[in-house]
Chains A and B, each alone.
Chain A
Amino acid sequence: MAQKKETRHKPSEKETTEETEKPSISDKGKELTEDMDKLMDEIDDVLEKNAEEFVKNYVQKGGQ
């Protein structure tokens, strides 16, 4: 079975640039903050419009 080669980052153009330019630690930190900001925006987009209502009404029957 083909096992995926694990990488700490998803290979991307960005990463290739990173390798050649060797960014400083502060650049790296800035990039992580930007990544996180983008993620938070995306979470806001993806969260159910009525997320809080949805979670309030989320009731399941007990199972095993």
Chain B
Amino acid sequence: MAEFQVVVMAAGSGSRMYPLTEGIPKALLPVANRPLIWHSLKLLESTGFQGKCCRGVHCPHRPQRPEEEAEISLLFRRMVAEMHHDHIIVVAQRAWATQIYNAINECKLDKIVPEVIGVDAEIGTADSLRIIREKIKKDFIVVSCDLISDVPIHLIADLHRQRDASVTMLVAEPPVNDAPLPDAKAKKAPVDEGTRDFIGIDAESKRLLYFAAEADVDEDFKIRKAVLMRYPRMDVTTKLLDGHFYIFRRWILDFLMEERHQHISAIKGELIPFLVRKQFSRRKRREVVDPPSDEIDLQAYAILDDNDKHAYSMSSTPIDTSDAVRCHVFQMKDGFCARVNTLASYLEINRNPPKLEFQGAKPEPQSSPSVAPNRPGAQTGSDSIVKDDVVIGDKSLIKKTIVGSKCKIGANVKLVNCLLMDNVTVQDGCNLQSVVVCTNAVIQAGCTLRDCQVGFGHTVPAGTDAKNEALVSGQGFE
């Protein structure tokens, strides 16, 4: 995978996960007792990023083992060091950058030590790319920190290479809800509705022919005839989830830098639809309208690539400039692919942590056993993840729940389908169902909560009976 650099987008604030993200960036929300971003990094690592060769690379953030050093010849190392410099970049909000960097290091990934770059809050993903473009030397992968998947990245890369694509993106059918709770479903449905995408694919070549968010299409679904001329069978579906995993050609960056493309700020919302639209179009037109300038159009970029140039120069057939931009999709067939970008999906992923085993993301036993040792009088289901240092009182029942470290759970507490982040106190006799409790929160005795979220550091007074509420201490959220 040395041909690609990786950019992990972790600057999202997670506004759709309010109130969970009140005191913590989305990237650090715990999923199966790991920060969210760990899962995407782990996926990269398990695919071989920063693999064997990288062990020999001097990373400024990691001491080198002497015996490793010896293994690798000097020349090779220099070469590799060059190739792998700044291999993986994490883009984070400036305020959280250090924290995210530390959190990643704490996770002790074997082969990945990314560089974390802080950017302003709330800038688009394409804007982020513009900022870090100096660091990107070759074709690159962009992956969102909220992707949890065991997708075989090498297969996506294969498709990308095979089709010589300008961009290859990952789509998958969203995970089926195994244990649908009526309320969870009800919550999920409307969220789905607005965030669906229309994805049009040519089944044979996996070419992406149409891409638009449902909300962006008003009444008319317009398809260019030229597209249909080439690909007369187009499968259009709304059931596929955009995995926010893209492989881009390097020239996309140059293209983004150009003056008249400055309006493109998001990858998914603007860049990809733009590229898809520009497929099969020809260089022209604009030059006539605008005063002549040294502007180069999209197709020109696509051909500027040195390899292409070389290849074209050797080819006896004329260059088909109309097909310079090629967007492809990799449709994941089996395996697991989910995005944690809404409250509902966050609850869902935490509710069904066993799924994560597939990607090797299962918490390692020595650090956090997935099944807590039976504590006297407390019942903990095997479908729960409870940290070692958790104190649980008598006759408490914990089912399908994740409990973070240093939590204190009183006696006679019933936790079903819950998520307790670190250092949460639940006092005696509470009954919590489908509740997310953020770090440092305290739930006083005798509360009955259902479908609630308890904000960072909030104290729920004793005897509260709440349903479907966000319980936060601050004066709301902007």
Binding partners A and B: no
